[in-house]
Structure 1
Amino acid sequence: MVTGYDHLLFLAGVVFFLYRSKDIATYVSIFAIGHALEDLAVAWLRGAGFDLYTRKGNRPDGGQFGFSVAGGRIRGHVDGIIAVGPEGLGLAVPALWECKTMNAKNWRACVKDGVTKSKPVYAAQIAVYQAYMESSVPGISAAPAVFTAINKDTAEMHHEQVPFDADLAQRMSDRGVRILQATDAGELLPRIAASADFFECRFCPWSDRCWRLER
């Protein structure tokens, strides 16, 4: 079930920014499948001996672990917090747990190179969550996060520990503040490229909207 406020905001954003019904249906389907696989990963990890909390008190009606800063304009919730790991692993706790689903190609790259190199956006998300969750879950930034990647094509799972990167968290936080300042001032920040033909722009679902904006 999709209940997190950032999940709902994501879906609202998809509907707002995407125009074609086909695109909306595709993104919502991808999101729903990823959420279902995440629920399975939670059950498997608990079965393996991880004391994994996805909600406060691990109750269905418990609130989600998350943070909100800048008047609620920068916020998010974590996939889970590991309170205790299986005996013998020597896992430092409390540890942030983040789970992502990927196609086979991206999953293999993650296994080979690690999430920090293969998926820097995910690494940035982990660092920011560790930083902002420290006030409500003391010690979470001292323990390496546990990142789980699920291969959507084969159901294989990859787990790795990700040490807290304070510099990365600060850079991402500063970037968020800069975006908010520009938004408040009505300023359009520079695009990632000089032309809509740029590789990343051609595969971005928001490219049409971005390049129609007047500079």
Structure 2
Amino acid sequence: MRLVIARCSVDYVGRLTAHLPMAPRLILVKADGSVSIHSDDRAFKPLNWMNPPCRLREEEGGWTVTHGKTGEQLILTIEEIMHDSAHELGVDPGLRKDGVEAHLQELLAEHIETLGDGWSLIRREYPTAIGPVDILCRDHLGGTVAVEIKRRGEIDGVEQLTRYLELLNRDPLIAPVKGVFAAQEIRPQARVLATDRGIGCVTLDYDALRGIERTDTLF
């Protein structure tokens, strides 16, 4: 990973246009080729970014990042570079899930028909270059579906599934791959983002998956 802190402005040129005025920012260039621009707030979310496949061209006074398929560009006008370093992070071991989340994955794999009649499991923890997909399965039409499972469905879970889908859909042996975001509780903002990206949402009943019948008793 390359970390650059620079005073720069950023223009996104493509289907949409966006402009970030001149200011100090953090630029991340990852080993997968992605480039993202960050400020000192907004938590984890970048101000702007370009996902791979993309090509970075460095010239005096700026950078141009061009997407390999769409031709869209990030154009960085750099006034001053204050820091520039590269670091080898190696292969990430992946996110360790808590007990409930891991058990949800196991139960859903055992009862994959919860997602729909005629669905079948391909495998759990399907490996990718950026971490394992919780469940890879087939729907009733034989299409490939990647399932990301959370206890609480937040926006970052949708973003994680989006990255998996971008990668999986480059594999001609399984593409096209659709996505399903499954959780015990899905926040409204996460549901809106998932729907906008064509990702299905499923609310999981932990007790039902375990075969426990709920009874409401008044005392």
State the TM-score bracket (shorter-chain normalisation): 0.3 to 0.5
Structure with greater contact order relative to length (CA < 8 Å, sep ≥ 6): 1
Q: Give the structure with the larger strand fraction.
A: 2
The structure whose Rg is larger is 2
Q: Give the structure with the larger helix fraction.
A: 1
